[in-house]
Amino acid sequence: MKLKGLMSAMALATLPLATSGAFAAAPEMTADERAQAKQIYFERCAGCHGVLRKGATGKNLEPHWTKTLDDGTKMEGGTLQLGTDRLERIIAYGTEGGMVNYDDILTKEEINLMARYIQLEPDVPPEFSLKDMKDSWKLIVPVDQRPKKQLNKVNLQNVFAVTLRDAGKLALIDGDTHKIWKVLDTGYAVHISRLSASGRYVYTVGRDGLTTIIDMWFEEPTTVASVRLGSDARSVDVSKFKGFEDKYLIGGTYWPPQYSIMDGETLEPIKIVSTRGQTVDGDYHPEPRVASIVASTIKPEWVVNVKETGQILLVDYSDIKNLKSTAIESAKFLHDGGWDASGRYFLVAANASNKVAAVDTKTGKLAALVDTAKIPHPGRGANFVHPQFGPVWSTGHLGDAVVSLISTPSEEAKYAKYKEHNWKVVQELKMPGAGNLFVKTHPKSKNFWADAPMNPEREIAESVYVFDMNDLNKEPKQLNVAKDSGLPETTAIRRAVQPEYNIAGDEVWISLWGGKTDQSAIVIYDDKTLKVKRVITDPAIVTPTGKFNVFNTMHDVY
Ligand code: DHE
Is 289 close to ligand 1, i.e. is its CB under 6 Å away?
no
CATH no. for residue 14? 1.10.760.10
Q: Is the pLDDT of residue 45 over 70?
A: yes
C-alpha 135 chain-centroid distance: 27
Rounded to whole angstroms, the Cα distance separating 286 from 432 reads: 39
Q: What is the mean pLDDT of residues 202-208?
A: 96
Question: Which residue, among 298, 222, 230, 291, has the nearest Cα to 57 in the 3D structure?
Answer: 291
26 Cα to the center of ligand 1, angstroms: 33
- How many whole angstroms from 181 Cα to the centroid of ligand 1? 24
- Could you tell me if residue 10 is inside a domain? yes
Residue 422 in domain: no
Q: What residues form DSSP beta bridges with 294?
A: 303
Active site residue 262: no
The helix (run of H) or strand (run of E) holding residue 85 is helix 84-93
Q: What is the rounded average pLDDT of the residues 46-69?
A: 86
Residue 93, domain extent: 2-117
- Closest alpha carbon to 229 in 154, 290, 292: 290
Query: Across residues 432-454, what is the average pLDDT?
Result: 97
Indicate the DSSP class of residue 25.
P
Give pLDDT, residue 80. 55
Residue 218 scores a pLDDT above 50:
yes
When comparing pLDDT for 24 and 457, which is higher?
457
* CA nearest neighbour of 484 among 538, 437, 526, 436: 526
Among protein residues, the one whose CA lies closest to atom 3 of ligand 1: 234
Q: What is the pLDDT of residues 455-464, one digit of tens each?
A: 989 999 999 9
Residue 86 lies in a domain: yes
Question: What share of residues in the chain are helix, strand, coil (percent, to 5)?
Answer: 15, 35, 45
| CA of 348 relative to ligand 1 center, distance in Å | 13
- The chain-wide mean pLDDT, for the chain, equals 92
- Residue 498 Cβ contacting ligand 1 at under 6 Å: yes
Whether 361 lines ligand 1, by a CB cut-off of 6 Å, is no
Is 377 among the residues known to form the active site?
yes
Q: Ligand 1 within 6 A of 48 CB?
A: yes
What is the count of structural domains for the chain?
1
For residue 294, the ligand 1 atom closest to its alpha carbon is: 16
**CA neighbor of 117 nearest in space, from 126, 129, 109:** 109
In a domain, 73, yes or no: yes
Strands (E), 111-196: 138-139, 159-164, 169-174, 180-185, 192-195
Task: Name the amino acid, one letter, at 58.
Answer: G
Residue 12 domain flag: yes
Distance CA 388, CA 390 (A): 6
Burial-class residue 307 by CB neighbours within 10 Å (0-12, 13-18, 19+).
buried
Active site residue: 29, 48, 75, 469, which one?
48
Dist. CA 328–CA 359, nearest whole Å: 8
**What's the pLDDT score for residue 12?**
27
Q: What is the pLDDT of residue 104?
A: 81
380 lines ligand 1 (CB under 6 A): yes
| pLDDT single digits (tens) 297-313 | 999 999 999 999 999 99
- Based on its alpha-carbon atoms, the radius of gyration of the chain, rounded to whole angstroms, reads 23
How high is the pLDDT of residue 100?
82
How confident is the model at residue 492, as a pLDDT? 87
Q: What is the pLDDT of residue 67?
A: 73
Q: Is residue 198 part of a domain?
A: no
The number of angstroms, rounded, from the C-alpha of 333 to the middle of its chain's C-alpha atoms is 13
Amino acid at 32: D
pLDDT 10s digits, 116-147: 999 999 999 999 999 999 999 999 999 999 99
Report yes or no on 113 lying in a domain: yes
- Give tens-digit pLDDT for 328-359: 999 999 999 999 999 999 999 999 999 999 99
Asked whether 295 lines ligand 1 (CB < 6 A), one says no
Question: For 274-300, what is the mean pLDDT?
Answer: 97
**49 belongs to the catalytic site:** yes
**pLDDT value, residue 286:** 95
How much distance in Å is there from the Cα of 439 to the middle of ligand 1?
13
Query: How much is the average pLDDT of 26-36?
Result: 91
- Torsion-angle region of 132 (φ positive above 0: left; ψ -120 to 50: alpha; else: beta): alpha
Tell me the CA–centroid distance for residue 536 and ligand 1, in Å. Answer: 23
Q: Is the CB of 312 under 6 A from ligand 1?
A: no
CA 191 / ligand 1 centre spacing (Å) = 6
* Contact 100 CB / ligand 1 (< 6 Å): no
Q: Which residue has the higher pLDDT, 163 or 80?
A: 163
Residue nearest to atom 46 of ligand 1 (CA): 379
Is the pLDDT at 487 greater than 50, yes or no? yes
Nearest CA to ligand 1 atom 18: 47
| Whether 505 contacts 448, CB under 8 Å | no
Residue 236 scores a pLDDT above 50: yes
Is the pLDDT at 17 greater than 50, yes or no?
A: no
Instruction: Output the pTM of the full model.
Output: 0.92
> Residue 197's pLDDT band (boundaries 50, 70, 90)?
very high
Mean pLDDT confidence for 204-211 = 96
Region class of 52: left (phi > 0), else alpha (psi between -120 and 50), else beta: alpha
Confidence tier at 21 by pLDDT (50, 70, 90): very low
pLDDT of residue 18: 36
| 478: confidence class by pLDDT, cuts 50, 70, 90 | very high
pLDDT at position 10 is 27
Residue 342 included in any domain? no
Q: What is the DSSP letter of 69?
A: B
Give residue-wise pLDDT tens across range 515-545.
Answer: 889 999 999 999 999 999 999 999 999 999 9
Q: pLDDT per residue over 64-120, tens digit each?
A: 877 765 555 555 554 556 788 889 999 999 887 778 889 888 999 999 999 999 999
Q: Which of 7, 49, 397, 442 is an active site residue?
A: 49
Q: CB of 118 closer than 6 A to ligand 1?
A: no
Would you say residue 249 has pLDDT above 90? yes
